[in-house]
Structure formats: C-alpha cells, structure tokens
Amino acid sequence: MEESKATILIVDDAPENIDILRGLLKDEYKIKVAINGAKALKIAQSTPDLDLILLDVMMPDMDGYEVCRQLKSQISTVSIPVIFVTAKGETDDETLGFDLGAVDYITKPISPPIVKKRVQIHLALHNEKRLLEALVLERTQELEASRKEIIACLGKAAEYKDNDTGMHVKRMSHYAKVIGLAMGMSEEEANALQETAPMHDIGKIGLPDHILKKPAKLNTEEIQHMRQHPQIGVDILGGQTCPLLNMARSIAISHHEKWDGSGYPKGLKGEEIPLHGRIAAIADVFDALTTKRPYKEAWPLEKALNLLKEESGKHFDPKLVELFMESLPQILEIKNKFQEK
C-alpha cells in the first residue's frame, strides 16, 4: 500500500539525474524531489515522515555539504539518513561527507543494483534505530512514572503522621504549581515542583507522635525536636542524582527558612533560600492556617491572607506573596476541590 512505503527525497540540480533515480525507485518508495539545496531543506523540514535523502554534492548556490550541515543542525531533520550521490569520489570528499553526518556515498555514474541495495540497507537501519528509540522512550517513561509514584507515596507517608487524609500535601503542591507558573516557570518545572512539594515534611517521619499530635503549644525542647525534621528529610532522601529528588531535598531543607534570615535550619536570607523552598513555604503555611490541626482550628480566609501580607518581606518572599494574591481565584478553586474528607 502507498501509505506503508518509505519516503525518499532526491536532491539534484540536473533534472536528468533526478529522472534516473526516480525511475529506479518509484515502484518501491514514495518519491519527493528538489532541484536545489534551499528547496531540499524546506521539503525536509515540512515532511515529518521523510525516511531518506539522496543528495547531490555539486550544486550551485548551496552545495550538498552545506545542505547536509544544515540538516544535521536542526532537531526536526537531524535523524534523517543522508546518502551523497556524486561524481566526487576522492577520499577527502567522502571523509568530509561522513564528518558532516552522511551515512553513505554513491558515486556517479550510478549502478542501479548498488543504489537499490544501499537504499534498502539504510532504510532498514533507520527503521531499526527508530524502533529502538521508541522502546527506550517507552521504558524511560515507565521508569519516570514509577519514580513519581514513589515520590508521591513518600510524601503521603509523611503527611499521615499528622494528617491522615493526605489532602494537605495535595493542596499545597497544587498551590506551589500555581505560584511557580505565575512567576514564569515552564510547565515542566512547575509540574516537577508539584510532584516534589509533598516531600517538604518527609523528615517528620523521624519525629515522635507525641510532638506531632500534641494538642497544645510545644515547649522549648519539643520545638528543638521539631526543628530537626528538615535535616531528617534530607537524610531520608539521601544523595540521589535524580533531578526530582534533588528538588525534593532542596524543598525539604529550606521550606522553613525565612526571607529576613530568622528561619531554620541554616538561617538563610532572601534569595539565598532556594526558589522552590520559598514557594513551598507560602503554599505550606497558607494551607496550614486555613485547615484544622491538632493544636488549632482553621483560620478564616481573610485572616490567613492578612498574615501572608504582614509576613511579606519577613517570613516570605514579597514578590511571591504578590503573585499568590494575584492567583487567589485558582488557589481557592484548589482549596475547594481538595477539601478534607
């Protein structure tokens, strides 16, 4: 069937050469042609199913070497196999062609059996390469999904220590994403922030229940115990090289730092505090204020917002507080969507 045929682009400034190659290959493949380098590049960039290019070297304005160089410099065309078809047969010419990324060289005058066999071989290699890349991508996506599931489970495990619904980490992680997007993060980075923000209190796993669930103010000794949880979180997450876990560690160690330097555990100040930690701090505190905890009732919304404003430039990054307020409709939508069960 026509749809299953591979697509080949023939590039040559001599129409008679195009006719020879097209006549040789048209029964087995879909053929596109270009009589100069500029047109060849345009066709290659606009043909997503292009499988192979047969490229003449000696052409006016833009020779085949330059066409190949440009093809290999662009993401959309870098993987298309290029076979040079040329009268230039010196070793230096072939070396240059291979250095530029060509997969083969066919010399003129062409031998029909050789052309057919070389085309067949390189199309088979290209298809095999695409299959392997697809399998690698599928496996990578599976591993990434598993890693995200593990991170989500760890975040929820920490939350079960003092909020057995898991809604706190769900809300605050969505709040964090909204703030991230508002300050200009890419969708990818904001998604990563949402996935790692639930790990902010992972260190609470290492704290005793009588401190976490105490229905009254903590005493000085208990406060000192509580302030150990950022470092415990870092210890739990370990020295992994996974970008998501690196972000999670950064949030775990920094989400109790304060803009004015009065936070813990390191007393970082201003932009010394990692951005992801500064965002998580606002998301975490807002949700803690507006929900019931063992030691307090939920605050009214207006009271919680006033505290954020009062602490802008003290506890919180003032720019991020401003963005939070501007994003309040989205914040409240999340708050209503993920209410305590």
**pLDDT one digit per residue (tens) for the chain, 341 residues:** 455 889 999 999 999 999 999 999 999 999 999 999 999 999 999 998 899 999 999 999 999 999 999 999 998 899 999 999 988 666 677 788 889 999 999 988 899 999 999 999 999 998 888 888 888 878 877 777 776 676 666 666 666 665 555 688 889 999 999 999 999 999 999 999 998 998 898 888 888 888 877 878 889 999 998 999 999 989 888 776 678 888 999 999 999 999 999 999 999 999 999 999 999 999 999 999 999 877 788 999 999 999 999 999 999 999 999 999 999 999 999 999 988 76
Tell me the C-alpha distance between 326 and 295, whole Å.
Answer: 30
Model pLDDT, residue 91 = 63
**What does DSSP say about strands 7-11 and 50-55: parallel, antiparallel, or unpaired?**
parallel
Model pLDDT, residue 70 = 94
Q: Where are the domains of the chain?
A: 2-134, 161-337
Model pLDDT, residue 1 = 44
311, 315, 319, 320: CA torsion to nearest 10:
-100
Model pLDDT, residue 89 = 61
Model pLDDT, residue 217 = 85
> Same CATH fold, 161-337 and 2-134?
no
pTM metric for this prediction: 0.59
Tell me the C-alpha distance between 248 and 52, whole Å.
Answer: 44
For 161-337, CATH gives 1.10.3210.10
CA distances from 174 to 33, 161, 308, 331 (A): 51, 20, 18, 8
Tell me the C-alpha distance between 284 and 170, whole Å.
Answer: 11
Model pLDDT, residue 155 = 64
Let me know: does 183 contact 320? Beta carbons within 8 Å: yes
Let me know: does 54 contact 83? Beta carbons within 8 Å: yes
Model pLDDT, residue 275 = 97
- Reading the block at residue 50, the tokens are 């292009």
For 2-134, CATH gives 3.40.50.2300
Model pLDDT, residue 71 = 94
Helix ranges restricted to H, 160-274: 167-182, 187-196, 209-212, 220-226, 229-237, 243-254
